C-alpha cells in the first residue's frame, strides 16, 4: 500500500460514546494523505453501529468516510487490524508508526494503558508509543469521572501521553453535531503535529455570522 505523505498514524477506537470523533479525525488525516493503521475494540465496533447507522460496520469504513466527508477522505490509505492480533506490526517498537490517538478512549482502555497491561492490540500499541517516547493522544469520554479514572489520566499524562478530553467548545458557534466533532478532531490533529482547518483559530473575538 502506498504511503504518500510518509506519515503513518495509529488510530485506536474503543467503546466510549463519541465514535463520530474517530470518524472525523480519520477523514481529516486521510485528507492530508496519511496512512492510518486502525484498530477497533469490540465495543468500538458496537458503538459504530449504535451511534452512526445499523449498517455502519468496519468493513464499510472507507465508504462511510467518503460518504460523510467527501472524496478527500480517499486521498490517504488505511488498514484495519484485529484488536486480538498481538502479532500485528503496531505491537512492535520496531514498526515506524510515528504517533497514536485513541479516540474515543473508554475508561477501561484508559486503565489498561495507565497500568501497562497490553491486554489488546490497542493497549499494546499505546504502550509501544510510551516506551518509544512517541506521541500518544488519549481522548477520554466519561462523565462524571471516578477517582480511579482521574488517577489513570494522571498516570498516562506522567508517562508522556497527551490527555485531550472529548470536551468541545462553544465559542466558535457550532451549528451542527459535525461542528462539535470537527472541533475535537482539529484539536487532535494539532496534538499530532498537523495543521488543521476544521475550526477557525481564535482571533480574539467571536466570529458571528450575521443572518
Ligand atoms: C452505548 C454504550 C456507551 C458507552 N459509553 C461509554 C463511555 O462514554 N465511556 C466509557 O468509558 N465507557 C462507555 N461504555 C462502556 C464500554 O464500552 C465498556 O467499558 C467496554 O468494556 C470498553 O471496552 P474497550 O475499551 O475494549 O472498548 C459504553 C458502552 C455502551 C454499550
Encode pLDDT of 143-200 as tens digits. Answer: 999 999 999 999 999 999 999 999 999 998 999 999 999 999 999 999 999 999 999 8
pLDDT > 90: what percent of the chain?
91
Q: How far is the CA of 122 from the centre of ligand 1 (A)?
A: 15
CA–centroid distance, residue 16 to ligand 1 (Å):
4
Question: Which residues neighbour 6 within 8 Å (Cβ) at sequence distance 6 or greater?
Answer: none
Q: Supply the pLDDT for residue 6.
A: 64
| Ligand 1 atom nearest residue 51's Cα | 1
The residue whose CA has the least distance to atom 19 of ligand 1 is: 108
pLDDT, residue 74, reads 96
Structure-derived torsion over alpha carbons of residues 50, 60, 38, 176, reported in degrees to the nearest 10: -50
**pLDDT at residue number 209:** 59
At residue 25, the pLDDT reads 98
57-88 b/e (C-beta count within 10 Å ≥ 16 → b): eeeebeebbeebbeeebeebbbebbebeebeb
- C-alpha cell recorded at residue 197: 482547518
Count H helices, E strands: the chain?
Answer: 7, 6
Most informative mutation of 13, 16, 48 for ligand 1 (most atoms within 8 A of CB): 16
> How many Å apart are CA 39 and CA 79, to the nearest integer?
9
Q: Which pLDDT value is given to residue 2?
A: 44
Taking 3-state DSSP, the helix, strand and coil percentages for the chain, each rounded to the nearest 5, stand at 40, 15, 45
pLDDT of the residue at 210: 54
Residue nearest to atom 25 of ligand 1 (CA): 109
Ligand 1 centroid from CA 31, angstroms: 28
pLDDT score for 180 = 97
Q: What mean pLDDT do residues 33-59 have?
A: 98
For ligand 1, the distance from its centroid to the CA atom of residue 157, given in whole angstroms, is 21
C-alpha cell at 195: 495543521
Confidence at residue 40, expressed as pLDDT on a 0 to 100 scale: 98
Q: Which residue's alpha carbon is at the smallest distance from atom 17 of ligand 1?
A: 15
Question: Rounded distance, CA 26 to CA 11, Å?
Answer: 8
For the chain, the farthest-separated pair of C-alpha atoms sits apart, in whole angstroms, at: 56
| Pair 139, 165: CB distance under 8 Å | yes
pLDDT computed for residue 202 by the predictor: 87
Average pLDDT score over the chain: 95
CA–CA separation, 130 vs 165, rounded Å?
19
* Per-residue model confidence (pLDDT) at position 4: 47
Amino acid at each position: 500500500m502506498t504511503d504518500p505523505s510518509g506519515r503513518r498514524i495509529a488510530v485506536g477506537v474503543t467503546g466510549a460514546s463519541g465514535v463520530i470523533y474517530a470518524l472525523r479525525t480519520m477523514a481529516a488525516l486521510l485528507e492530508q494523505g496519511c496512512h492510518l493503521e486502525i484498530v477497533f475494540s469490540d465495543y468500538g465496533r458496537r458503538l459504530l453501529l449504535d451511534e452512526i447507522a445499523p449498517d455502519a460496520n468496519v468493513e464499510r469504513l472507507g465508504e462511510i468516510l467518503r460518504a460523510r466527508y467527501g472524496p478527500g477522505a480517499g486521498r490517504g490509505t488505511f488498514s484495519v487490524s484485529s484488536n486480538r492480533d498481538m502479532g500485528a506490526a503496531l505491537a512492535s517498537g520496531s514498526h515506524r508508526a510515528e504517533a497514536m490517538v485513541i479516540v474515543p478512549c473508554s475508561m477501561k482502555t484508559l486503565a489498561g494503558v495507565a497500568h501497562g497491561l497490553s491486554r489488546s492490540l490497542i493497549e499494546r500499541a499505546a504502550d509501544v508509543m510510551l516506551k518509544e517516547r512517541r506521541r500518544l493522544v488519549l481522548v477520554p469520554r466519561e462523565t462524571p469521572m471516578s477517582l480511579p479514572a482521574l488517577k489513570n489520566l494522571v498516570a498516562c499524562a506522567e508517562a508522556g501521553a497527551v490527555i485531550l478530553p472529548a470536551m468541545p467548545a462553544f465559542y466558535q458557534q457550532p451549528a451542527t453535531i459535525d461542528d462539535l466533532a470537527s472541533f475535537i478532531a482539529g484539536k487532535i490533529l494539532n496534538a499530532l503535529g498537523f495543521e488543521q482547518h476544521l475550526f477557525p483559530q481564535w482571533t480574539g473575538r467571536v466570529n458571528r455570522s450575521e443572518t
